Structure 1
Amino acid sequence: MNGTAEARRVIVGVDGSDSSRYALEWSANEAQLRGLGLHIVTAVEAGESDGPFGGLIASYSEAEESPQVKDAQALLDYAAGWIGRLYPEVDARTRLILRRPVDALLEVAGEPGAAAIVVGSRGRGSLASAFAGSVGVELAAHAPIPVVVLPKKHEAVRGARARIVVGVDGSESGMRAAEFAFAQADTRGIDLIAVCAWQPITAFAMTMGPLPAEVFDEESIATSARETLEAAIADLRARYPRVRVDAREVRAHPVVALLETATPADLIVVGSRGRGGFGGLLLGSVSQSVLHGAHGPVAVVH
């Protein structure tokens, strides 16, 4: 492994839940495939004491002896040992951070060499259960690197052939998502499905004022979607000639198109904000809905 590869790492948040273990295994496999290291992170929120400096006292003096911190360290030791047995060639390091779990992962994500963050979709108990549910959404909204969220139930995907499913809409975020998806498909040697969804103009559009007749022509809308899709992936096809691409323009809402195309074995890749997103929103409605509705892993790319 060269110096550049050693400096870059996949970050994974763990809390001992089923989806957390799946996230850990997925992250280690990703690190192995890409020649990266692995940074296993867990977090414990500092306790509160009386007085204006109580939190600091609990954080730095009492925290090391607290049952929560001891449990967290034991979890990290177990996780590192497990990955060492499954992926002995992966350089795995651990880190316990006394912060809110989302803030802990964002802290590590902002450090040099961070390649991606991986978390489970559901946590457990009191240890670091905030690596769950809405945490994936919050991370995807704020992290400067791709965020991958893994589902709780993953047993059903064993033995199934995985693919990459990426949503394409011509936006800058969508273009970066497509590039990430092509790179994943190339590294893993699996097929890629590029989806561009479109919907017909409905009656409510009349409230916008007079519209040209062609916007009501579904064939024209479908043709525009195909052109958007092909234009978005043309350069990527040339850069990744080994990737087999199935380009699909689909008459459906983007969320429906992606969720119905993907199986639990597939990695869905979306941009953080699509072409129709509002600039003030940190995470678009499509990416949020896909994160909540997917039965397999989802990557959100800024």
Structure 2
Amino acid sequence: MLVGDHALTARAAEFAFAEVSVRGVDLVVLATTKTRKASRHHEFTHASSSLGEKYPDVSLHYACVRCGIRRALVKASAESQLAVVDAQDRDGLRGGLAGMLGNSVSRATLRRSDCPVTVICGRGR
């Protein structure tokens, strides 16, 4: 299963760990040199350390690529059962369907992915 580093929130981590545990597959976090942000990486790392205790069967892997996260997610989707994307509107300006579909990463992944896509909406806790 696949999650992009743009979606490194506690909510995305919880969903991804639970889903991977049920499916019995590995979780791959795609990080790009263009989108890597310390605050989001720290949030996911913190969430994943506590979730590792809750889901000890989950095998977590990181992959770093040199292209944008949209291209990386679409390319990696060819070998994944599921992609998890974050629809969080960074500016907090959109509502309704546009807000649910969120940012350009989630929209591009939904349009071009070779695997099913789960869109995580709203802020994590």
TM-score, normalisation: structure 2: 0.74
Q: Distance in 2 between matches of 1:167 and 1:286?
A: 9
Once residues 183 and 195 of structure 1 are traced to their aligned partners in structure 2, the CA distance between those partners, rounded to angstroms, is 18
Q: Distance in 1 between matches of 2:5 and 2:81?
A: 16
Rounded Cα–Cα distance in structure 2 between residues aligned with 1:181 and 1:189: 12
* Structure showing greater Rg: 1
- In structure 2, the CA distance between the partners of 1:175 and 1:226, relative to structure 1 (3 Å rule), is closer
Inter-partner Cα distance in structure 1 for 2:87 and 2:41: 22
Give the letter aligned to residue 67 of structure 2: A
1:159-187: CA deviations, max 9, x gaps? xxxxx10123466xx33122111101101
Compared CA separation, residues 284 and 300, structure 1 to 2 (3 A): same
Change over 3 Å in CA distance of 1:246–1:225 after alignment to 2? farther
- Match of 1:249, SS state, is strand
- In the TM superposition, 1:33-182 aligns within 5 A as 164-169=1-6, 174-182=9-17
Alignment CA distance shift 1:176-1:244 (3 Å): same
Letter of the aligned partner of 1:286 in structure 2? V
Kindly indicate whether residue 63 of structure 2 is the aligned counterpart of residue 248 of structure 1: yes
Superposition CA RMSD, Å: 2.7
Aligned mates of 1:232, 1:198 — CA distance in 2: 22
Instruction: Determine if the alignment matches structure 1 residue 273 to structure 2 residue 88.
Output: yes
SS of equivalent to 1:263: helix
Q: How many residues align?
A: 114
Change over 3 Å in CA distance of 1:294–1:300 after alignment to 2: same
* 1:191 corresponding residue in structure 2: 26
Q: Which has the higher contact order (CA 8 A, sep 6+)?
A: 2
Q: Give the alignment partner of residue 48 of structure 2, picking from 218, 222, 233.
A: 233
CA 1:250–1:232 in 2, change beyond 3 Å: closer, same or farther?
A: farther
In structure 2, relative to structure 1, the CA distance for the partners of 1:252 and 1:239 (3 Å cut) is farther
SS at match of 1:195: strand
CA distances 1:278-298 after superposition (whole Å, capped 9, x unpaired): 211311111111101101110
Alignment CA distance shift 1:286-1:295 (3 Å): same
Question: Which 5+ residue runs of structure 2 have no aligned equivalent?
Answer: none
Between the two proteins, what is the percent identity of the paired residues?
31
The 1:239–1:197 alpha-carbon spacing in structure 2 relative to 1, beyond 3 Å, is farther
- Say if 1:165 and 1:267, in contact at 8 Å, map to a contact too: yes
Specify the SS of the correspondent of 1:262. Answer: helix
- Per mean C-alpha deviation after superposition, the further-off stretch among 235-244 and 292-301 is 235-244
> What is the alpha-carbon distance in structure 2 between the residues aligned to residue 165 and residue 257 of structure 1?
10
8 Å CA contact retained: 2:17, 2:27: yes
Q: Is the CA contact (8 Å cut-off) linking 2:5 and 2:41 kept in structure 1?
A: no
**Cα pair distance change 1:265/1:168, threshold 3 Å:** closer
* CA displacement at 1:225 relative to structure 2: 8.2
| Deviations 1:81-113 (CA, angstroms, capped at 9, x unpaired) | xxxxxxxxxxxxxxxxxxxxxxxxxxxxxxxxx
CA distance, structure 2, for counterparts of residue 175 and residue 183 of structure 1 = 12
Aligned partners of 1:237, 1:165: CA distance in 2, in Å?
17
Deviations 1:152-209 (A, max 9, x none): xxxxxxxxxxxx10123466xx331221111011011111111233318xxxxxxxxx
